[in-house]
Chains A and B, each alone.
Chain A
Amino acid sequence: MNDLYNNQVGHWVIVVIAITALLLVVLTATAYTVWLERVALGRIQRRPGPNRVGPFGLMQLAADGVKLAFKESFIPADADKLLYLLAPTIAVGSAFLAWAVIPIGLWYNVQYWIADINIGVLLIFAVSSLNVYAIVVGGYSSNNKYSMLGGIRSAAQLISYEMALGLSLVPTFMIVGSLRLRDIAEYTVHWGWYNGAIPLIILTPLGFVIYLIAAVAETNRAPFDLPEAEQELIGGFLTEYSGLKFVMYYLAEYINMITVSALAALLFFGGWNLWIIPPVFAFLIKVILLLFLYIWLRGTFPRLRYDMLMRLGWKVLLPLAIANVVVTGVILVATQG
Chain B
Amino acid sequence: MADEESTGKPEHPTPLRRPGERVPAKPEGKRPGVAADVAALAGGLKTTLSEFFRPVVTTEYPEEKTTRSERYRGRHYLRRYDNGLERCIGCELCAAACPVGCILVIAAENTDEHRISPGERYAKTYEINMLRCIFCGYCEDACPVQAIVLGPEYELSDTSREKFIYTKEKLLEPLPPDVEARLRAPSSPHPGPPPKGGRGQADPLPDVEREKTI
Instruction: Tell me the residues in window 290-337 of chain A with beta carbons closer than 8 Å to chain B beta carbons.
Output: 296-297, 299-301
Nearest A residue (CB) for B38: A209
If the complex has contacts A300-B45, A301-B41, are A44 and B52 also in contact, measured as CB distance less than 8 A?
yes
Contacts of B56 in A (CB 8 A): 42-43, 46-48
Instruction: Tell me the residues in window 42-73 of chain A with beta carbons closer than 8 Å to chain B beta carbons.
Output: 42-48, 51
Nearest A residue (CB) for B49: A296
Q: How long is the Cα–Cα vector from A40 to B41 in the complex, in angstroms? A: 19
If the complex has contacts A301-B41, A301-B44, are A40 and B52 also in contact, measured as CB distance less than 8 A?
yes
Instruction: Tell me the residues in window 82-98 of chain B with beta carbons closer than 8 Å to chain A beta carbons.
Output: none
Contact B52 A43 (CB under 8 A): yes
Q: How long is the Cα–Cα vector from A46 to B47 in the complex, in angstroms? A: 12
Q: Does B58 contact A (CB under 8 A)?
A: yes
Instruction: Tell me the residues in window 101-158 of chain B with beta carbons closer than 8 Å to chain A beta carbons.
Output: none
Q: Does B187 contact A (CB under 8 A)?
A: no
Q: Does B57 contact A (CB under 8 A)?
A: yes
Q: How many A-B residue pairs have CB under 8 A?
A: 34
Q: Does B48 contact A (CB under 8 A)?
A: yes
Fill in one digit per residue for B39-68: 1 if any A CB lies within 8 Å of its CB, else 0: 001001101110110111110100000000
Nearest B residue (CB) for A52: B60
Contact B58 A47 (CB under 8 A): yes
A260 to chain B, nearest CB (A): 19
A206 to chain B, nearest CB (A): 13
Contact A300 B57 (CB under 8 A): no
B44 to chain A, nearest CB (A): 5
Q: How long is the Cα–Cα vector from A9 to B110 in the complex, in angstroms? A: 98
Q: How long is the Cα–Cα vector from A44 to B60 in the complex, in angstroms? A: 17
Nearest A residue (CB) for B46: A300
Contact A44 B58 (CB under 8 A): no
Contact A46 B41 (CB under 8 A): no
Contacts of A43 in B (CB 8 A): 51-52, 56
B55 to chain A, nearest CB (A): 7
Contacts of B49 in A (CB 8 A): 296
Contact A45 B41 (CB under 8 A): no
Contact A299 B58 (CB under 8 A): no
Contacts of A46 in B (CB 8 A): 51, 54-58
Contact A296 B45 (CB under 8 A): yes
Q: How long is the Cα–Cα vector from A44 to B50 in the complex, in angstroms? A: 8
Q: How long is the Cα–Cα vector from A46 to B51 in the complex, in angstroms? A: 7
What residues make up the interface of A, taking CB atoms closer than 8 Å to B?
40, 42-48, 51, 296-297, 299-301
22 A-B contact pairs sorted by A residue (CB < 8 Å): A40-B52, A42-B56, A43-B52, A43-B56, A44-B51, A44-B52, A45-B51, A46-B51, A46-B55, A46-B57, A47-B56, A47-B58, A48-B60, A51-B60, A296-B45, A296-B48, A296-B52, A297-B45, A299-B48, A300-B44, A300-B47, A300-B48
